[in-house]
């Protein structure tokens, strides 16, 4: 089988049908299955899935859990049951809007065997109407990314990604200790190849209070991400240590500045001190880091200015076509 669409769901009776419909609407030149991992819901989610299975028995393959596993166990176990050469991920509360999405991403990975992941943009929509639709990825996203960049920041929307199957056949013990499945899942795949980006928005990424990530306050998300990067540093090879240490230092400093802006001086000082400790330097290096943190804490605008300068420098060093040779990009604006 060429591809599997993996949908994970729990208590999503109001939206699961839209996710399944988007997967069924794919127009492809190959056969694909839709694997729906239903985690022992307490609402009508399971019965809705079974209705779709009865209508499309050759396409839909439900995995109906006998007891609730939780997302950190349900997702990897369902992934290992996917039979396709490629696996397209789809959260049960998101949905696809492009009927050629799966074909285009599979074509990309077929044409680029040194890539392990292909992803695209996503349109974020707030169910409560608190914000208007916003694209997840900023303009100017490059066509190719690598593991080092993904270790620093999770820039892939789950429902926008297709991965090459059979690269990851065992999930390490540390995987289930993390609070979210998608970032470490993509890291494990990025260890086997490059990451390709198509500048299309074929996915609607719902933002709603019931969402695992959306319901967290900004500061809790930031603290959660620091913990994830620390785990990466603990379990990955020493060659990634300096990069991850720098990423933790930068995230702690960002959180210190956030708390300073919120007027929480105690937590601002705590994370400022933590950012100095996490820098992992001694002697003069430690003094320079402390001086930098002191300057940022008293002139917060410096942090953003320096970040923009570093980004511009990296872009100029890479050149306008770096990482894009032989990789097609497709551009259009957000949908109305």
- Distance CA(177)–CA(236), nearest Å, equals 15
Torsion of CA 106, 119, 313, 287, to 10 degrees: -130
Q: In the prediction, which pLDDT does 330 show?
A: 34
Q: In the prediction, which pLDDT does 328 show?
A: 35
> 195 has which bridge partners?
117, 145
**329 DSSP 8-state letter:** -
Q: In the prediction, which pLDDT does 310 show?
A: 57
Beta strands 115-126; 194-207: pairing state: parallel
Question: What would the two tokens of residue 136 be?
Answer: 């997840």
Burial of 273 from C-beta contacts in 10 A (0-12 / 13-18 / 19+): middle
pLDDT per residue as tens, the chain (336 positions): 999 999 999 999 999 999 999 999 999 999 999 999 999 999 999 999 999 999 999 999 999 999 999 999 999 999 999 999 999 999 999 999 999 999 999 999 999 999 999 999 999 999 888 888 999 998 889 999 999 999 999 999 999 999 999 999 999 999 999 999 999 999 999 999 999 999 999 999 998 655 444 445 778 889 999 999 999 999 999 999 999 999 999 999 889 989 988 999 999 889 988 998 888 655 455 657 777 776 777 776 665 665 666 565 555 544 443 333 333 333 333 332
Q: What is the CATH number of domain 3-207?
A: 3.90.550.10
Q: What pTM was estimated for this model as a whole?
A: 0.84
Residue pLDDT, tens place only, 80-126: 999 999 999 999 999 999 999 999 999 999 999 999 999 999 999 99
**Residue 251: strand, helix, or coil:** helix
Residue whose token pair is 């320096």 = 306
Contact in structure between 187 and 232 (CB atoms under 8 Å): yes
Contact in structure between 247 and 232 (CB atoms under 8 Å): no
Beta strands 115-126; 161-164: pairing state: antiparallel
Q: In the prediction, which pLDDT does 303 show?
A: 58
Domain ranges of the chain: 3-207, 218-318
**335 DSSP 8-state letter:** P
């Amino acid at each position: 089988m060429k591809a599997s669409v993996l949908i994970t769901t729990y208590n999503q009776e109001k939206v699961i049908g839209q996710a399944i419909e988007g997967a069924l609407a794919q127009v492809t030149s190959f056969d694909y299955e839709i694997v729906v991992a239903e985690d022992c819901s307490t609402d009508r989610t399971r019965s809705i899935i079974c209705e779709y299975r009865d209508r499309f028995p050759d396409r839909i393959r439900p995995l109906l859990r006998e007891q609730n596993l939780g997302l950190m166990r349900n997702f990897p176990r369902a992934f290992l049951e996917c039979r396709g050469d490629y696996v397209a991920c789809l959260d049960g509360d998101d949905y696809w809007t492009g009927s050629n999405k799966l074909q285009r991403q599979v074509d990309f990975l077929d044409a680029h065997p040194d890539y392990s992941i292909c992803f695209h943009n996503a349109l974020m929509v707030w169910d409560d109407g608190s914000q208007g639709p916003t694209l997840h990825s900023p303009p100017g996203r490059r066509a190719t990314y690598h593991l080092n960049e993904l270790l620093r920041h999770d820039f892939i929307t789950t429902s926008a990604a297709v991965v090459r199957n059979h690269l990851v056949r065992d999930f390490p013990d540390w995987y289930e200790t993390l609070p979210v499945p998608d970032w470490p899942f993509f890291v494990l795949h990025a260890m086997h190849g490059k990451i390709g980006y198509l500048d299309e928005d074929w996915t609607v990424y719902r933002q709603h209070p019931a969402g695992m990530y959306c319901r967290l306050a900004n500061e809790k998300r930031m603290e959660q991400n620091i913990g994830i990067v620390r785990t990466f540093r603990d379990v990955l090879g020493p060659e990634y240590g300096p990069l991850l240490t720098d990423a933790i230092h930068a995230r702690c400093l960002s959180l210190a500045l956030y708390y300073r802006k919120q007027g929480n001086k105690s937590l601002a000082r705590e994370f400022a001190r933590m950012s100095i400790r996490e820098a992992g330097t001694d002697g003069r290096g430690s003094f320079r880091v402390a001086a930098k943190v002191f300057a940022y804490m008293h002139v917060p605008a410096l942090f953003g200015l320096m970040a923009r300068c570093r980004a511009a420098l990296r872009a100029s060093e890479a050149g306008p076509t770096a990482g894009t040779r032989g990789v097609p990009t497709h551009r259009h604006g957000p949908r109305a």
